[in-house]
C-alpha cells in the first residue's frame, strides 16, 4: 500500500486505531471489526512486541499474535500496522505480511537499532512510520528518516507521541508542539500523525490534545482503542472503547487549512495590525538596549558588577504581580523578562569589557 497517498486521499483526520497490545485473537478481531464498522480506522494498530519500562510489565504476546493481526486486516479489509524495535521484529513482520511498520519512541533514540532495521528493509516496498525519540531531539528524529530513505524506504510518516519528563503535572509525555512544527518546516512533505494516547496517558484528555493536533494541521491521529480499556494488559488508563473513540471523532472541530476564504481581508488586516505592533515592540526593545548600555557605562565608572540580584528579583516580581492586569501568563512574562535581561547583559558586557 502507499501510506502517504492514502493519508492525502483520506478525509481528515486519518485514523490509526486499535489496541495498545494484541491480547488474544478474540480481543483484537472483535475491537477491529467494531472500529471498522463505525468508520473509525484507516489503519488498524496493535502492539505485538511492547518495550515496557519495567521488566515485570506485559511485554506483548510476541510473534504468535502476528497471524491475529493479519486476520483482523482480512476481516475488516483494512491495512494493519505494528511496532518493530529490532531486526528480528522487522523480519517477522515482513514475513507475516504486515502492511505498515512503525518504529517506537524507545527505538528512534538508538541509531544502531534504526540502522539495523533499515538494513533489513533494504529493497522492500513497505511504508514506515517513525515515532519521535523519547527525548526532544529533532536531529535524531530526522536522522531516522534519513537512514530509512538511504535504504530506499520513501513512503514515510512521522508520529508525534510526546517526550519523557519527570513528573509532568498533566501529561504522561509532554507534547512540546514546537518539535513537530519544526519537523514540518524541515520536511514539509512528510505526513505527521499525532498520538494523543501516549501524550496524555489519560482518556479524558484525548479530545483536547486531538483537537490541538487538528488545529496545528496534523494529518492524522493514532488512538489506542480497546474493547474493555480498564482491563487492558497495557496502558489501561489511556485506552478508549470504540464508543469512546466515536465521541472523540464526532466532537473534533475540523477547520480549513486554506486561508483563501472570503474572510481573508479581515485576517490580512488583523495580521497587518499585529505586524505593526511587532515593529513598535522591536523599536522599543532597541531603545531599551541603548539605555542598558548607558547603565553599563555607569557601572563601569563605579566599578560595579553587571548583576545586582536583589534588584533584578524585584523587577521580575513586580512584573509577575501584574500578570492579571496584562492578561498574560506568568510563564510568558518570565520568558520575556529573562530574554530581555539576557540581551541587556550582553549589551552591558560589551560596554564594560571593552579593552582597548
Which residues would be at the binding site for ligand PEP (CB under 6 A)?
Answer: 20, 47, 83, 104-106, 131, 161, 198
Compare residues 106 and 334 and give the one whose CB is closer to Mn ion: 106
Cis peptide before 13 (omega within 30 of 0): yes
What is the smallest separation between the CB atom of 218 and Mn ion, expressed in angstroms?
19
Q: Considering the complex, what minimum distance in angstroms separates the CB of residue 236 from ligand PEP?
A: 12
Instruction: Indicate which of Mn ion, ligand PEP, none lies near residue 99 (CB less than 5 to 8 Å, by partner kind).
Output: none
Report, in Å, the least distance between residue 300 CB and ligand PEP: 54
Q: Which residues, other chains included, contact 330 with Cβ-Cβ below 8 Å and sequence gap of 6+?
A: 320, 323
What are the angstrom distances between the C-alpha of 97 and each of 9, 82, 151? 23, 11, 19
Comparison of 219 and 235: residue with beta carbon closer to Mn ion: 235
Instruction: Pull the grid cell for residue 84.
Output: 518493530
Sign, Cα dihedral of 70, 74, 79, 80? negative
Give just the sign of the alpha carbon dihedral 58, 60, 62, 68.
Answer: positive
Note whether 155 binds Mn ion by CB under 5 A: no
**153 interacts with Mn ion by CB under 5 A:** no
Q: Which is nearer to ligand PEP, 7 or 223 (CB)?
A: 223
What's the rounded Cα separation, in Å, for the pair 239 and 60? Answer: 16
Q: Which residue is nearest to ligand PEP (CB)?
A: 104
Phi first, then psi, for residue 321 (nearest 5°) are -65, -15
Does residue number 235 form part of the binding site for Mn ion (CB under 5 A)?
A: yes
Among 20, 93, 144, 179, binds Mn ion (CB under 5 A): 20
Place of cell 513586580: 318
Q: Taking contact as CB under 5 A, which single stretch among the options 16-24, 87-95, 285-293, 302-310 is the one that binds Mn ion?
A: 16-24
53 or 261: CB nearest Mn ion? 53
In the complex, the smallest distance separating the C-beta of residue 210 from ligand PEP, rounded to whole angstroms, is 15
Do 85 and 113 touch, CB atoms closer than 8 A?
yes
How many residues bind Mn ion (CB under 5 A)? The answer is 2
Q: In this structure, what DSSP letter does residue 45 have?
A: E
Minimum separation from the CB atom of position 293 to ligand PEP (A): 49
Nearest distance in Å: CB 39, Mn ion: 23
**What is the smallest separation between the CB atom of 77 and ligand PEP, expressed in angstroms?**
23
3-state secondary structure of 27: helix
Angle at the Cα of 35 from the Cα atoms of 33 and 40, rounded to 5 degrees: 140
CB-nearer residue toward ligand PEP: 59 or 71: 59
* Minimal distance, residue 24 CB to Mn ion, in Å: 17
Q: Of the ranges 65-73, 215-223, 231-239, 249-257, which one interacts with Mn ion (CB under 5 A)?
A: 231-239
Beta bridge partners of 156: 128
Q: How many CB atoms lie within 10 A of CB 338?
A: 11
Through-space distance between the first and last CA atoms of the chain, rounded to whole angstroms: 69
| Nearest Cα residue to 105 out of 208, 209, 199 | 199
172 binds, among ligand PEP, Mn ion, none (CB under 5 to 8 A by kind): none
- Binder of residue 105, out of ligand PEP, Mn ion, none (CB less than 5 to 8 A by kind): ligand PEP
Catalog residues that contact Mn ion under the rule CB under 5 A. Answer: 20, 235
Amino acid at each position: 500500500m502507499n501510506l502517504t497517498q492514502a493519508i492525502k486521499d483520506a478525509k481528515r483526520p486519518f485514523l490509526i486505531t486499535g489496541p495498545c497490545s494484541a491480547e488474544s485473537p478474540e480481543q483484537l478481531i472483535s475491537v477491529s471489526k467494531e472500529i471498522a464498522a463505525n468508520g473509525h480506522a484507516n489503519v488498524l494498530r496493535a502492539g505485538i512486541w511492547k518495550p515496557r519500562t519495567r521488566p515485570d510489565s506485559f511485554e506483548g504476546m510476541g510473534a504468535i499474535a502476528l497471524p491475529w493481526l493479519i486476520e483482523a486486516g482480512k476481516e475488516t479489509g483494512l491495512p494493519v500496522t505494528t511496532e518493530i524495535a529490532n531486526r528480528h521484529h522487522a523480519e517477522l513482520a515482513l514475513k507475516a505480511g504486515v502492511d505498515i511498520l512503525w518504529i517506537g519512541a524507545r527505538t528512534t533514540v538508538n541509531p544502531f537499532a534504526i540502522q539495523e532495521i533499515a538494513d533489513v528493509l533494504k529493497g522492500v516496498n513497505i511504508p514506515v512510520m517513525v515515532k519521535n525519540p523519547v527525548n526532544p531531539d529533532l536531529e535524531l528524529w530526522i536522522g531516522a528518516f534519513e537512514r530509512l530513505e538511504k535504504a530506499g524506504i520513501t513512503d514515510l510518516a512521522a508520529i508525534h507521541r510526546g517526550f519523557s519528563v519527570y513528573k509532568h503535572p498533566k501529561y504522561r509525555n509532554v507534547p512540546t508542539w514546537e518539535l513537530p512544527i519544526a519537523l514540518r518546516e524541515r520536511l514539509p512533505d512528510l505526513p505527521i500523525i499525532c498520538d494523543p494516547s501516549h501524550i496524555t496517558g489519560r482518556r479524558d484528555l484525548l479530545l483536547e490534545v486531538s483537537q490541538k493536533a487538528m488545529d496545528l494541521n496534523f494529518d492524522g491521529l493514532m488512538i489506542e482503542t480497546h474493547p474493555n480499556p480498564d482491563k487492558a494488559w497495557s496502558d489501561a488508563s489511556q485506552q478508549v472503547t470504540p464508543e469512546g473513540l466515536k465521541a472523540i471523532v464526532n466532537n473534533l472541530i475540523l477547520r480549513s487549512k486554506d486561508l483563501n476564504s472570503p474572510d481573508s481581508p479581515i485576517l490580512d488586516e488583523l495580521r497587518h495590525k499585529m505586524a505593526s505592533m511587532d515593529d513598535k515592540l522591536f523599536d522599543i526593545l532597541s531603545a531599551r538596549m541603548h539605555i542598558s548600555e548607558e547603565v553599563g557605562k555607569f557601572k563601569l565608572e563605579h566599578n560595579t558588577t553587571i548583576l545586582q540580584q536583589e534588584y533584578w528579583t524585584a523587577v521580575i516580581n513586580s512584573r509577575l504581580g501584574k500578570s492579571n492586569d496584562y492578561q498574560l501568563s506568568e510563564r510568558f512574562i518570565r520568558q520575556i523578562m529573562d530574554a530581555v535581561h539576557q540581551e541587556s547583559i550582553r549589551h552591558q558586557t560589551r560596554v564594560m569589557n571593552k579593552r582597548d
